[in-house]
Structure 1
């Protein structure tokens, strides 16, 4: 598991290759990722937006941006966490993702960015 802490918000990531949804013969590789966002700070925060940079091992890069995560803009109280699972398709069997969440500190309505650490999406057979 990969994790990082920014301004009292800890982001942890796990990845899972999904062979049942992949089709290597057609350059389609599907990965799931599970993210846990934990408030290790002293003030409630709300996740407002996300921004992803997604890289295929063939050099292709794409950006994904939008409100919330999987349709939610969760409020995370101190000591609490929010976990979700999402997916990413690549045209190669290896790649990576990184990004940031825009958070709102509810106490004073200050917006701040939380780093999502870079993590790798690798089909298990590439690790042999």
Structure 2
């Protein structure tokens, strides 16, 4: 029988994000600001989980909102064992030097095959000389 915390498995999975401005890939004169972000998914539960899908909401400084949905991350649907972590890096291209990303992952508990959502707290994308 599987057990998880009273709050559910999502609270046993933690997501950390480290954004970075990619100056060498950006072209401000063309309103192209490239950011990379490195995500670390920590599985603190007692079961393996599989990251099945992603949903990102990207709000640009102009107020324009873009939503991105897809299977897995960076072409993978990784299985993350108990106490393990999965780390990957991806990119976002904005039309201005500032934006905010947030979202969630859809995962499954591999022991029960039950899906659950893992929220990803908002994080700021800011180019050079922008107030953090």
User: TM-score higher than 0.5 here?
Assistant: yes
SS at match of 2:29: helix
| Aligned counterparts of 2:74 and 2:100: Cα–Cα separation in 1 | 20
Q: Which residue matches 1:72?
A: 76
- Note if contact 2:10-2:116 (Cα within 8 Å) is conserved in structure 1: no
Provide Cα deviations, 1:81-100, integer angstroms capped at 9, x if missing partner. 00000000000100010000
Gapped runs of 5+ residues in structure 2? 1-8
In the alignment, the residues of structure 1 paired with residue 130 and residue 81 of structure 2 have an alpha-carbon distance, to the nearest angstrom, of 40
Match in the other structure for 2:52: 48
Match of 1:120 in 2: 124
Give the paired residue count: 124
1:107 pairs, out of 99, 108, 111, with 111
TM-score, L = length of structure 2: 0.91
Give the number of the structure whose residues are more often strand, by fraction.
Answer: 1
Structure index of larger Rg: 2
The residue aligned with 1:22 is: 26
Shift of 1:42: 1.1
Question: By how many angstroms is 1:41 displaced?
Answer: 1.1
Aligned counterpart, 2:66: 62
Structure 1 stretches of at least 4 aligned residues deviating more than 2 Å after TM superposition: none
The one-character-per-residue Cα deviations of 1:63-119 (angstroms, maximum 9, x if unpaired) are 000000000000001110000000000001000100000000011100000001110
